[in-house]
Chains A and B, each alone.
Chain A
Amino acid sequence: MATTVNAANASSRPHHTLWGDAWVRLRRNKLAMAGGIFIIILALAAIFAPLITPYGFARQDLTAILQNPSSKHWLGTDGLGRDVFARLLYGARTSLAVGIFTQVIVLGIGLPIGAIAGYAGGRVDNVLMRFVDVMYSFPDILLIILIKAILGGGIYQLFFAIGLVAWVDIARLVRGQMMSVKSRDFVAAARAMGGMGPYITERHLLPNSLGPIIVSVTFNVPRAIFTEAALSFIGIGVRPPTPSWGSMISDGYAVIFASWYQVFFPALAIALLMIAFTFLGDGLRDALDPKLRH
């Protein structure tokens, strides 16, 4: 009767779903949680920016240019008398939007292409992956500049330009995941039960590949933000007066010896956001790693 006793004990244990388990492990990781909380606070601050600062991001006060940080202007003002703190908050909108929307585009293109290539294999896989290889062989920044030149200025065009370049990584990752999951026994078992291609892809292959995909997206967000900052720094990112951390650094760079804080605060903001996403990504990778499941 030992088996029934054991079984009864086993079923009285709390139920853990796979995602529930991952969440428990993620919560234990202090750095990852700090990163996640920082991102959430920054997102809220960006959304509710008008409630936090009385200054608009484009309002010029020519009587107060290049002021040092003070109680009136917390982080000082720039060469046109615009409040740096306000511009940082509104600039966070740009950065976070770039980070998130480019990943939506990246997933929208990369996920289906990678999934099709990985599941179908053979000739389909060959054609799709050679296309990915061609995309891969262009230097990223050059290709973005090129696409941006064709699409024109504006922030949406920027999303597209970055997204159209960055999807190749996800496509490769998804394909690799698909191929490794495809060879596992439960896929054969699902086929033995009469499952068909699209169903197996959606219900068996994708859920089992999701962990690495989520992690990769988390690491790609700061890359996209960084790309936007770099583009804005060289003057082809978002259009002024829309603030962007990259363009703020570019503006402040000219007066770095007169008022260092104009470079320092946006640079600090970029650095903190990068670190936050990296910590979160690391935490997610550990939390979603099936080998650490216990």
Chain B
Amino acid sequence: MAPLLEVRNLKTYFYTQDGVVKAVDGVSYDVNRGETIALVGESGCGKTVSALSILRLVAEPAGKIVSGEMLFDGIDLLKLSKDDMRKMRGAKISIIFQEPLTSLNPVLTIGRQISEGLEFHKNMSVQEGMEEATRLLKMVGIPHPERRVYDFPHQFSGGMRQRAMIAIAIACQPQLIIADEPTTVVDVTIQAQLLELIRNITKELNTSLILITHNLGIVARYAQRVFVMYAGNIVEHGKALDVYHSPCHPYTAGLLGSVPRLDEPRKARLQPIEGQPPDLIALPAGCSFQARCAYSVPQCLKEKPVLTEIAPNHYAACWVSQKGLREWQKQ
């Protein structure tokens, strides 16, 4: 069966005073029905932009989807009219934003904001919408939903607001949910609760999920496949457990080394990835990770590596890996 979403060679650029920022530069990935994939990478590597591109909500006029194809259920989202695209948003594809406080309108009740999408896409009346909102709040684990539905965002705690955001996202039973770092603003215990909630709901509704995160540690548990992004490109992808246990790109290895792991003996110190991501306006000619890479070979400076199958269904864009010199795995 064809995947639910197939992104091919997506390029989203931002035209700024200083030059063209290639935030997403030729990214391809696909999401199967009912599957959870993870987009992983540091801040500013293009994860959020590639997700917003799917909804065609990149801030214009500075940002522009330059080329690519995004086949959703066989339809190219980039070819849809503005109006048809609007009918997709919320109904077929929805998004959970990072900041639940600023993403909720302070002057509307939680219930009204949940029922908003239902009013747009399911022609519900306000009253029907509120009833459905109550049911949804109950589903995401808000106590006393029949009262809470009339609350304003400032009366909710951080974790509850994010639950409300989840309720908004699932209101119209979309086929695809994009969760853009849904747990960055809450503490670790709530983070686990929220991720479990998202996982249970997507399972229950058979929804596909794109989980955007910078924490590779949570990926193995919640996603089936992982796409690691660096400087606007996908540098590695494969099954979550494969990537987690045997990373084929030194960047992925670096990401793994920088988070504490409970399944391995404790190291004295976490290993940060030295340096900064490259300037997306002036990318180096060769591998964009080369300057920060401890394993680079002369070829890395000259030629940009392309995604190659290193192990079965496990791809990486790395010259070192292709030569079979994966020294980072010996640590």
Contacts and interface: CB of A to CB of B under 8 A. Distances in A.
Check if A and B associate: yes
A191 B57 contact: yes
Contacts of B224: none
B102 A192 contact: no
Contact of B152 (A18, A185, A188): A18
Given A17-B152, A18-B152, A185-B99, A192 B106 contact: no
B120 interface: yes
A199 to B, nearest CB: 8
Interface residues of A, number: 30
A192 B95 contact: yes
B103 A186 contact: yes
Interface residues of B, number: 38
A293 interface: yes
Contacts of A186: 102-106
Interface stretch (A7-15, A155-163, A259-267): A7-15
B154 interface: yes
A189 B103 contact: yes
A195 interface: yes
B103 A193 contact: no
Interface stretch (A127-135, A201-209, A245-253): A201-209
A193 B105 contact: no
Given A10-B155, A15-B150, A186-B103, A192 B143 contact: no
B97 interface: yes
Given A192-B90, A194-B86, 18 more contacts: A7-B142, A7-B160, A10-B157, A11-B147, A16-B155, A185-B97, A186-B104, A186-B105, A188-B57, A188-B97, A189-B103, A193-B117, A193-B168, A194-B87, A194-B90, A195-B86, A207-B105, A207-B107
B151 interface: yes
Contacts of A272: none
Contact of A193 (B61, B99, B120, B154): B120
A52 interface: no
B105 A204 contact: yes
B151 A7 contact: no
Contacts of A188: 57, 97, 103
Contact of B117 (A10, A184, A194, A203): A194
B150 A11 contact: no
